[in-house]
Amino acid sequence: MKRSIKNEFGILIIFIVLATPFLSLCDIGSCARFKINIVFDDGNSLAGYIQLCGYDAVKFLSEDEILQRMKHRAISDSITVYKKIQTINYPMCGAKHWGWKFSAVANEDKITIDVNRISKIQKLSVSRCEHGNFEEDDAYLINFTAQIIDDLSQQEIDLLQTKPYSQLIVKDPHTWDKDFCLNYNEDIDEEQLKQLCSLYLEDEKILLSKEFSDLQEQHYSETVKNLRDMSIIVIHIYGD
């Protein structure tokens, strides 16, 4: 029997998308999540959040500095807008004794905005990017990873609040990266899970090498979709 999965909308969140389709923000200093009011050049406004990382004291950035970083880091003049960022209970980080949890956003909570349409922003509040019981002085440092897992449905995020029937964890011997295959289908045993996830890992290895064709990228997407149709959620984590 497969555990089933639903869509839901929330407050707007903006996240700066950096270079690759897989976002790695580990080991880059500090990170801050700002609540801001975005004013567009047509007079409309939008309240939401933006997450910025850097080696400086990011949490003290002024409104003008935040806007400049948004424009500087935009890809093709666009940034990804998140309506809501959630925390998930699984996969579990090795630092669970600190109450550390990964951040995730549902596909249906993403919107793309043209940064050239932004007239100004108003900074309303600031909070840390990582969820955990860290010392206050270290709250804005990236202790593990400020990565946001942003290719999930709300149904899958709901599943990731519960313990999987089984899971496969594959560590990269050359980095701190990990791949998680979380099984929410009780009809799939551990041996079947290994076989199914091996297909995903082979495709992902090609994509991470950045030497892939459109056909290989399509095959990877199809592999991930087929696994998720079987209630197996695959996640790549950078620098855990």
CA 53 to CA 81: how far, in whole Å?
16
Lowest model confidence (mean pLDDT) among 23-37, 80-94, 105-119, 175-189: 23-37
For residue 205, pLDDT over 70 is answered with no
Helix (H, G, I), strand (E, B) or coil at 8: coil
Q: What is the pLDDT of residue 166?
A: 95
Q: What is the pLDDT of residue 208?
A: 54
Strand partners, 54: 30
Distances (CA, A) of 143 to 34, 97, 124, 129: 19, 13, 25, 10
Q: What is the pLDDT of residue 178?
A: 85
Q: Break the chain into its structural domains and give their ranges.
A: 1-160, 164-240
Contacts (Cβ under 8 Å, ≥6 apart) of 68: none
Q: Residues 70-106: pLDDT tens digits? A: 898 888 888 887 888 999 999 987 666 677 889 999 9
Q: What is the pLDDT of residue 116?
A: 94
How high is the mean pLDDT of the chain? Answer: 80
Q: Which has more pLDDT, 44 or 1?
A: 44
Kindly state the average pLDDT of the residues 1-23.
43
Q: What percent of the chain has pLDDT over 70?
A: 76
Q: What is the pLDDT of residue 10?
A: 37
Kindly state the average pLDDT of the residues 184-188.
96
